[in-house]
Amino acid sequence: MNNYFIKRTGRAVLTLWVTVTLTFGLIRAIPGGPLEMLRARLVRQGVDPTRIDAIIQSRQEESQPIYVEYYEYMSSLLSGNLGESFYFREPVSSIITDALPWTVFVMVTATIILFAIAIVWGAIIAYKEGSTFDTVSSGLSILMSSVPFYVLGILFVVVLSYRFGIFPARYRTSPGVTASLSIQFVGNALYHAALPIASIVITQVGLQTLAMRGNSIQVLGEDFVRVARLRGLSDRRIAVRYVGRNAILPMYTGFLTLIGFNLGGSVILEEIFTYTGIGYYMFEALINRDYALMMGIFLVITTALVLSVYIADLTYGLVDPRVKSGDSSEAY
């Protein structure tokens, strides 16, 4: 176990290091570069050419050997300095601290809701396998999975927000609502997050339901369930203790991974709902070629994903006692 823990931690650190190096390389690979973009912007603003040259000169740093730049990049990252956003003229870290909680709130809520639905629904379908209910539910699950979340999101905005005005189409809260732990604030935040959450839940619940159905069917066929029946245990006890437990456990890692995965999808989702989380800022950064912000958010999303998979891997042994050491976690 200890050995596995060290190895797994090493791998997480390695992944983060690769990503950081990748972003470092990407920033240098981007044609133009920040100074060129600055020049273009100043030209658009009609600034006098000699002044532009002076500004560029003053911003120009001595070109250093690549390893020195790399070292400085790494050390500033480690001290939490992600640079300054070119477009918003704010430190990248302060933009991220402002936006990240909202994205995490939407994605975690959505993932919890969709897993709750998938587990109950999938278990019921499995129990009634072969019935009309099974056919209809499985068909519906597949049908829902064939809609990309952003397509449903666009439909929601067009129909529910603009046509009928039931839900707000933009922003995290209504103007004037300040962040506090009041009922008004929480309610307002939920109201604004309802459509983004719904579009994730509806389009992703299908595949998880089918996975749960598959797990449950497999468990139902196991000998220990038959033995439990023969022992005359109550249906409830069999359903919860024997089938439910064994069918849900394999979905545990999927749950944490999906949260991380959805954080990556936030760019499209938040752009559609004009929800100012990290995805929204990443899109703005991409459009404005704001490389510092773009790479900062990319790093944050990667870190979140690496951490969630890391936690999933390390805790899987705790929730599922059958997995003794981590290496056998892939043997199920």
Partner 1 sequence: MKHTESETGTEEEFSFGAAQSEVEVSTADRLRDIYREFIYKPGLVAWEDNRTRIGASILAVYVFIGTVGTWFYRAPTTNQSERSLQPFQTWEAPLGTTSSGEDVLAMAIHATPEMLIMILSGGIFATVLAVLIGTVAGYKGGTTDRVLTTFSDVAMSIPGLPLIMVLAVVISPERATVIGILITINYWAGLARSIRSQVLTIREHSYVEASRTMGVSTPRIIFKDVIPNIMPYVLVNFANAARYVVFASVGLYYLGILPTSVANWGIQLNNAYSRAGALSGGGTMYQLVVPMIAIMFLALGLILLAQGMDRVFNPRVRTRLAGESESETEDDEDAAAPTEVMT
**Eight-class DSSP state of 328:** G
Residue with Cβ nearer partner 1 (31 or 65): 31
- Closest by CA to 297, choosing from 311, 313, 277, 317, is 277
Per CB under 8 A, 14 contacts partner 1: yes
What is the per-residue binding string for partner 1 in 114-153, x denoting contact by CB under 8 A? ---------------xx-----------xx-xxxx-xx--
CA gap 215, 220 in Å, rounded? 9
Per CB under 8 A, 293 contacts partner 1: no
Q: Do residues 91 and 85 touch, judged by C-beta distance below 8 A?
A: yes
Q: Where are the alpha helices (DSSP H) in the chain?
A: 2-29, 33-44, 49-59, 66-78, 92-127, 132-145, 149-156, 183-220, 223-230, 235-237, 245-272, 278-287, 291-319
Q: Do residues 100 and 260 touch, judged by C-beta distance below 8 A?
A: no
- Closest by CA to 279, choosing from 172, 191, 155, is 172
Residue with Cβ nearer partner 1 (155 or 179): 155
Per CB under 8 A, 110 contacts partner 1: no
Per CB under 8 A, 157 contacts partner 1: yes
CB of 109 to partner 1, least distance (A): 19
CA gap 307, 299 in Å, rounded? 12
**Eight-class DSSP state of 123:** H
Q: Do residues 158 and 177 touch, judged by C-beta distance below 8 A?
A: no
Per CB under 8 A, 162 contacts partner 1: yes
Per CB under 8 A, 243 contacts partner 1: no
Per CB under 8 A, 41 contacts partner 1: no
Which region among 44-52, 59-67, 183-191, 302-310 touches partner 1 (by CB under 8 A)?
302-310
CA dihedral 317, 322, 327, 329 (to 10 degrees): -80
Applying CB under 8 A, among 22, 108, 124, 233 the residue interacting with partner 1 is 22
Per CB under 8 A, 296 contacts partner 1: no
Per CB under 8 A, 298 contacts partner 1: yes
Per CB under 8 A, 306 contacts partner 1: yes
Q: Residue numbers of the site for partner 1 (CB under 8 A)?
A: 11-12, 14-15, 18-19, 22, 26, 29-31, 129-130, 142-143, 145-148, 150-151, 154-155, 157-158, 162-163, 204, 207, 210-211, 213-215, 217-218, 220-221, 250, 254, 257-258, 260-261, 263-265, 267-268, 271, 282-283, 286-287, 289, 294-295, 297-298, 301-302, 305-306, 309, 330-332
